């Protein structure tokens, strides 16, 4: 996990241990549906978590903090998984930064924030960590999942289109790749699967995809479809099926976790809004006026609240309205999808698949390699 002590990763860790120790049910896990019972997904017990993190904190502290501020799950759970969380924490290494924007850089200690090494050097460090993680835990396979905060938007025209060129670029000081892409390269070069659960660039450029194919590695992204967008992706098709014309769709999101704090920086927010906003046109076949806003409201913590106002036209031109509000605990919604994606990506790797895993599209707001957004 990249961002291995962040909100989502904390819940992934707590949740996996709870599943391993049978302290919780499978609610929220798509991969636990009966449809997938017989396809040989990896058992919870066989999964070992580790990761990279730029912040100096402990996983246990983060899990406690999350529980106290969100009151999402029972506090008693933490006492029962304390030991295992510390073991996972011991497998988390210092991460790297690059072109992530000021808001994210401010979270890191000086040695990471001011690290002036080339992209290549940082990749080498990550690859050393990955090899060590696999060897020391005697693993057969690994999947890297990016759970870190949204980076500022990258001008993708500044990134070479072929791997040959991009590869050279990695040694240059002005390499425009953000950290999420360095992690992607580190994993994929080693043949390790990479899943980008965030709107950051990650593996989402032709050169990296080219390299992944060459290394026979799987990858998929971007931006986990957890709440408001999940609902949009079933509502919009309903309007389309009934030939009801959407005139405008407004979505207003408020929340107060660290993700929200980072998105409060306009540069980072731009990346996120772009990811949320392209779905409607793809589902409807036309582009209604839409407006998406995301605001950081401290008091809400991890409870992302969204209000959507859908103004549509029916028979004889009659205007009507549907509104919905969504009050979801964001990390609690995201964490099981991360576990699902790990299991599906691992299974695909084991089956010999390579390249982009379009069939995981339903997990993402901006699924790579497809324009199908209907859930």
Name which of residues 270 to 299 contact a second copy (CB under 8 A).
Answer: 289, 291, 293, 295, 297-299
Please say which residue, 157 or 318, places its beta carbon nearer to a second copy.
318
Residues of span 67-126 touching a second copy by CB under 8 A = 68, 71-75, 77
* Integer angstrom CA distances of residue 199 from 52, 104, 307, 324: 18, 14, 21, 24
> Among residues 254, 274, 284, 354, which is the contact residue for a second copy, using CB under 8 A?
254
How far apart, in whole angstroms, are the C-alpha atoms of residue 127 and residue 189? 9
Q: Which stretch binds a second copy (CB under 8 A): 100-108, 186-194, 215-223, 300-308?
A: 300-308
Nearest approach, Cβ of 363 to a second copy (angstroms)?
Answer: 10
Report the nearest approach of a second copy to the CB of residue 250 (Å): 5
Q: CA-to-CA distance for 66 and 97, rounded, in angstroms?
A: 24
* Cβ distance to a second copy smaller for residue 190 or 247: 247
Contact 256, 367 (CB under 8 A): no
Provide, rounded to whole angstroms, the least separation between the CB of residue 126 and a second copy.
29
Confirm or reject binding of residue 37 to a second copy (CB under 8 A).
Answer: no
| Distance, C-alpha 164 to centroid of its chain | 28
As measured in angstroms, the least distance from the Cβ of 147 to a second copy is: 15
Using CA atoms, how far residue 193 sits from 108, 251, 276, 340, 345, in Å, is 26, 33, 25, 14, 7
Residue 324 · residue 259 · CB < 8 Å: no
Q: What residues from 188 to 247 belong to the interface with a second copy (CB under 8 A)?
A: 230-231, 233-235, 237-238, 241-245, 247
For residue 333, the tally of other CB atoms under 10 A from its CB is 20
Query: Shortest gap between Cβ of 122 and a second copy (angstroms)?
Result: 33
| Number of residues in contact with a second copy under rule CB under 8 A | 72
Pairing mode of beta strands 143-146, 193-196 = parallel
For a second copy, the binding residue among 270, 305, 355, 359 (CB under 8 A) is 305
User: In this structure, what is the dihedral angle of CA atoms 100, 106, 108, 114, given to the nearest 10 degrees?
Assistant: 70
For the bound state, the minimum distance from the C-beta of residue 299 to a second copy, rounded and expressed in Å, comes to 4
Measured in degrees and rounded to the nearest 5, phi and psi for residue 365 equal -70, -35
Our CB check for a second copy shows the closer of 27 and 174 to be: 27
Q: Which of 106, 139, 214, 320 binds a second copy (CB under 8 A)?
A: 320
Shortest spacing between CB 209 and a second copy, in angstroms: 28
Which one among 328, 343, 348, 365 touches a second copy, defined by CB under 8 A?
328
Asked whether position 322 contacts a second copy by CB under 8 A, the answer is yes
Q: What count of Cα atoms within 13 Å lies in the side-chain half-sphere of residue 314?
A: 7
Tell me how far, at minimum, the Cβ of 211 lies from a second copy, in Å. 33
Instruction: Name the residue nearer to a second copy (CB basis): 119 or 263.
Output: 263
Q: Is 28 in the site for a second copy (CB under 8 A)?
A: yes
| Shortest separation between residue 143's beta carbon and a second copy, angstroms | 19
Omega before residue 222 within 30° of 0, cis: yes
Site for a second copy in 47-76 (CB under 8 A): 68, 71-75
Q: Is 173 in the site for a second copy (CB under 8 A)?
A: no
Q: Which residue lies nearer to a second copy by CB, 214 or 238?
A: 238
Rounded least distance, CB 258 to a second copy, Å: 16
Q: Beta strands 319-329 and 303-313: pairing type? A: antiparallel
Query: Should residue 138 be labelled a site residue for a second copy when binding is judged by CB under 8 A?
Result: no
Residue from 193, 202, 204, 336 binding a second copy (CB under 8 A): 336
């Amino acid at each position: 996990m990249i961002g291995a002590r962040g909100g989502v990763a904390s819940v992934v860790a707590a949740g996996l241990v709870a599943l391993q120790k049978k302290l919780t049910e499978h609610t929220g896990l798509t991969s636990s549906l009966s449809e997938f019972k017989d396809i040989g997904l990896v058992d919870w017990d066989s999964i070992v978590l580790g990761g990279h993190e730029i912040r100096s904190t402990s996983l246990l502290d983060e899990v406690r903090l999350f529980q106290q501020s969100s009151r999402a799950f029972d506090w008693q759970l933490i006492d029962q998984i304390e030991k295992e969380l510390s073991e996972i924490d011991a497998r988390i290494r210092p991460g790297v930064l690059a072109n992530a924007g000021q808001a994210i850089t401010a979270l890191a200690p000086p040695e990471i924030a001011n690290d002036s090494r080339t992209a290549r050097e940082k990749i080498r460090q990550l690859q050393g960590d990955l090899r060590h993680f696999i060897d020391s835990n005697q693993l057969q396979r690994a999947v890297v999942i990016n759970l870190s905060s949204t980076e500022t938007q990258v001008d993708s025209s500044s990134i070479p289109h072929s791997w040959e060129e991009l590869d050279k670029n990695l040694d240059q000081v002005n390499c425009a790749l953000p950290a999420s892409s360095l992690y992607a390269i580190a994993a994929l070069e080693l043949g390790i699967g990479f899943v980008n659960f965030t709107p950051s660039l990650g593996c989402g450029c032709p050169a990296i995809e080219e390299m992944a194919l060459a290394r026979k590695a799987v990858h998929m992204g971007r931006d986990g479809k957890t709440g408001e967008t999940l609902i949009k992706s079933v509502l919009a098709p309903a309007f389309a099926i009934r030939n009801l014309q959407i005139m405008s769709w407004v979505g207003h999101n408020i929340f107060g976790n660290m993700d929200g704090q980072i998105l409060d920086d306009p540069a980072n927010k731009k990346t996120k809004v772009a990811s949320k906003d392209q779905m409607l046109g793809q589902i409807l076949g036309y582009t209604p006026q839409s407006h998406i806003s995301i605001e950081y409201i401290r008091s809400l913590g991890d409870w992302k609240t969204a209000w959507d106002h859908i103004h549509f036209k029916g028979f004889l031109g009659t205007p009507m309205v549907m509104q919905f509000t969504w009050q979801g605990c964001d990390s609690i919604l995201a964490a099981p999808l991360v576990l699902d994606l790990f299991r599906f990506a691992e299974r695909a790797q084991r089956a010999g698949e390579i390249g982009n895993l379009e069939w995981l599209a339903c997990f993402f707001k901006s699924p790579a390699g497809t324009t199908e957004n209907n859930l």
